Structures are given as C-alpha cells and as structure tokens.
C-alpha cells in the first residue's frame, strides 16, 4: 500500500456549510491515512470553494479553501456537505453546473442536505438516496429520486448519500472500508473512538 498514490478527496465548502458535515468525513479520510494506519497515505483531503477567500461556516468558523470550482485537480472522491447554505447554493447555477459535470473517479458523495444539491444537478436521478431527517420532504419532491428515509447512508456504487450531519462519518467509514479494507476502517473508528452505525438500522 505504501507506494500507492493517495486518492484525492475534494470537499466542497461554502458559506453556512454545516461544520460536522464536512469535518466528519475530513477526519475519517485523514485518520485512515495517518501514522499507524494500515494504509498510510491512502487519502489526501482538500477543500474546494467558489473562490480562494475564507469560507464562513454555520456558527462562523473560517476555513481556507485549497482550490476553486474552476481550478482544481481531478478528484477521486467528491464530498458535498450540507448546511443552511445549501438553500442559497441550490439556486446558484455555477454550483449546480459544477456538480452536474463533476466526474470524481471513485465516488460522488453527499452528507445531510448536500443531497439536495446532487438532486438539483440530476446526479440522483433513478437512484435511492437519503438526506437529513428534516429535509426528507424536500428531497422527495425530486420525482426521479427514491427516498430511503430509514437509511443511515445509501450506497449506489459511484454515488453515496448520507443522512444528517454525523451520518457523514458512517458513510465515510463505509467508503474507507470498501476502498481500503476492514482493517483500515476499524483502525480509523478506533482512533476516533467512534461507534459505527450500519447502513440501515437493524430490524
């Protein structure tokens, strides 16, 4: 594993993005790649935004993007988080067109209301998907999307969506397990002292 090139993970950030929506997956991919992991250097995680100016999250944390929508390297994995700012970005043609034409090599993913941006861009057409519990009705308005309200996250193969906020951690751990194996996923959850939740609740 040590000589394999890192998978490049791009996380979209925008004003009023939900902090844990993007920091949860950031933490998962980062720990999966850190000293002690069976897959050292597995992922390289970067933030991508509309401009290089600081982005102000929900609650006012300011983070610096690494790339812009117009100028970033090809991502292997793209993460679209949610947050109050999605209600603005869903009406922003630049964001929606960027998502519509994004072709991450391995996976296109959303956390929380990020699923609405994917749906608006047509990326969830003819797929099952989930989003934050408070936005199930919103996602259900997209007739081409099959809502899976009970799911913690949904894996369509190339497209994955997760439920609200902390569910992005479970989706990212699932993706790490798919790509890097159970040993790395277990290492990561152990370092994070996180109790993983399954894709769907046990009956």
At closest approach, how far in Å is the CB of 26 from a second copy?
Answer: 5
Q: Which is nearer to a second copy, 65 or 104 (CB)?
A: 65
Distance separating alpha carbons of residues 31 and 43, to the nearest angstrom: 9
Q: Which is it for the CA torsion 11, 16, 21, 23, positive or negative? A: positive
At closest approach, how far in Å is the CB of 194 from a second copy?
Answer: 4
Three-state DSSP at 148 gives coil
* CA nearest to 11, candidates 77, 56, 97: 77
Query: How big is the chain by its Cα radius of gyration, in Å?
Result: 16
Residues in contact with a second copy by CB under 8 A are 18-20, 23-24, 26-27, 29-31, 33-34, 45-47, 54, 58-64, 66, 132-134, 163-167, 169, 191-195, 197
At closest approach, how far in Å is the CB of 191 from a second copy?
Answer: 7
Distance separating alpha carbons of residues 125 and 16, to the nearest angstrom: 26
Q: Which is nearer to a second copy, 36 or 93 (CB)?
A: 36
Three-state DSSP at 115 gives helix
Instruction: Please give the C-alpha separations between residue 58 and each of 20, 82, 84, 117, in angstroms, as whole numbers.
Output: 10, 10, 7, 17
Q: Which is nearer to a second copy, 18 or 177 (CB)?
A: 18
At closest approach, how far in Å is the CB of 143 from a second copy?
Answer: 25
At closest approach, how far in Å is the CB of 62 from a second copy?
Answer: 4
Q: Which is nearer to a second copy, 53 or 97 (CB)?
A: 53
Q: Which is nearer to a second copy, 33 or 39 (CB)?
A: 33
Instruction: Please give the C-alpha separations between residue 18 and each of 14, 28, 77, 177, in angstroms, as whole numbers.
Output: 9, 16, 19, 25
């Amino acid at each position: 594993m040590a000589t394999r090139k890192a998978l490049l993970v791009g996380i979209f950030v925008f004003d009023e993005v939900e902090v844990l929506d993007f920091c949860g997956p950031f933490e998962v991919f980062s720990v999966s790649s850190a000293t002690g992991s069976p897959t050292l250097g597995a992922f390289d995680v970067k933030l991508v935004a509309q401009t290089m100016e600081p982005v102000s999250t929900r609650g006012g944390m300011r983070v610096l993007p690494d790339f812009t929508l117009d100028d970033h390297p090809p991502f292997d994995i793209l993460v679209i988080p949610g947050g109050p700012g999605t209600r603005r970005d869903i009406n922003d043609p630049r964001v929606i067109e960027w998502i519509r034409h994004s072709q991450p090599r391995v996976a296109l993913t959303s956390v929380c209301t990020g699923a609405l941006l994917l749906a608006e861009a047509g990326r969830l057409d003819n797929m099952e998907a989930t989003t934050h519990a408070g936005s199930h009705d919103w996602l259900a308005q997209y007739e081409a999307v099959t809502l899976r309200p009970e799911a913690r996250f949904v894996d369509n193969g190339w497209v994955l969506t997760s439920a609200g906020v902390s569910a992005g951690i479970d989706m990212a751990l699932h993706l790490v397990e798919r790509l890097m194996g159970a040993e790395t996923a277990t290492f990561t959850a152990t370092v994070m002292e996180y109790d993983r939740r399954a894709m769907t609740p046990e009956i």
